[in-house]
Amino acid sequence: MIEMFGERIVEAGRLPLFGFFAAFIITFVVTRVNVRLIRSNVRWLRNVTAGDVHIHHVVFGVVLMLVGGVGSVAIPDAHVRFELAAAVVFGVGSALVLDEFALILHLSDVYWTEKGRASVDAVFVAIAVTGLLLLGIHPFGYENLWFDSGSGSGSLSPLYAAFLFGNLVLAVITLLKGKIWTGLIGLFLPALLIVGAIRVARPASPWSRWRYDADSRRYQRAVRREKKLRRPLIRGKIWVQEFIAGRHDLIPPELMQRRAEATERARLRRVARARRRAAARAARAARKATPGTPRGPVTGGEGRTETRARRGALARTHRGTASRMRTRAATRRRARHTEPEEEPPPSERPRAGTSG
């Protein structure tokens, strides 16, 4: 085992990659154990907070990735130990970041919900890709087809260029058919891309929406394969994820506590509102029973009701006064128009029996 490690890892120059791989897996396992213990309300473990702000471990992961990435670039090539240390730091930070990949994707704390399974998927993809690279499997082909050995410029060989283009096309088709794992692993094992591109697409994939009708035979065959083959595999994958990372379909205790507090606050508001309404009704009933009771200063809902009543009475008084004034003015105008003409004095009256 030690000889194989020295031959396949150390002599092949993959020691920093191995450090990254080991640090990534260990950090992910330790982080998941830690958060599951916190979720179980273990007394000696708590979330990291700054006042009322919950600091997620993705923050520490970003800082460690920055330190490890800059360190790997700044370290000279001859210092293998420093490269290994930088790769380990980068692996720790990457595990912390990908463990909360769903939080970054949805910009919400969905760690223990159904959407939180995207974080575990991202971690599994990173482990699979890094493991294949550690085994010496190169994406899109083989190392001896990379450069044209006959040319001194180090350009891509025509054979590898055609091979690379074909694999890229097959990978895009496979991903559009909804086969994510087949497309990703097929980058390292091109035979899987051929199988994924030939077989029918998944029913909910973009390829199925674009090219399959709902009544076509291909769509019906895709639905049958989804029920018989993919759903049992998905259930198995979810079981493995929950065994490693915990269940993601339960409401977290923090969210349950916040919901309970919000429910209690809403109940108290309803009770206080009902009490104010009852007090206002009792005050109105008391005023109706004793109409001569002087009104004193009131507060709360009763005060607001009293203020509205006073304003209404004052407005009615103003309207009545204005109406009476208009009525009186109209009466005077009618009286002026209907007054009889003044009777002439007796000296100017015509005498009886004489003509004017």
For tokens 């079981």, the residue is 239
Inter-CA distances, 107 with 110, 254, 298, Å: 9, 18, 49
Q: Tell me which H or E stretch contains 50.
A: strand 49-50
User: pTM for the full model?
Assistant: 0.59
End-to-end CA distance of the chain: 157
Residue 14 DSSP SS3: coil
- What is each CA distance from 255 to 39, 109, 113, 250, 259, in whole angstroms? 11, 10, 11, 10, 6
Between CA 302 and CA 62 the distance in angstroms is 58
CB of 34 within 8 A of CB of 246? no
Q: How far is 174 from 181, CA to CA, in rounded Å?
A: 9
Length in residues, the chain: 356
Three-state DSSP at 225 gives: helix
Of 231, 221, 167, give the one whose Cα is nearest residue 197. Answer: 167
What is the pLDDT tens value at each position of the chain, 356 positions in all? 777 777 778 888 888 899 999 999 999 999 998 888 887 777 777 788 887 788 889 999 999 999 999 988 888 776 778 888 999 999 999 999 999 998 898 888 788 777 788 888 889 889 888 888 888 777 765 554 444 444 444 555 677 778 778 888 888 899 888 888 888 888 888 888 888 888 888 888 888 888 888 888 888 888 888 888 888 887 887 788 778 777 766 665 566 677 778 888 889 999 999 999 999 888 888 877 775 555 554 445 555 566 666 677 777 776 777 777 778 777 877 777 665 555 555 555 555 444 43
d(CA 129, CA 244): 19
Q: Which of 325, 306, 307 is nearest to 317 (CA)?
A: 325
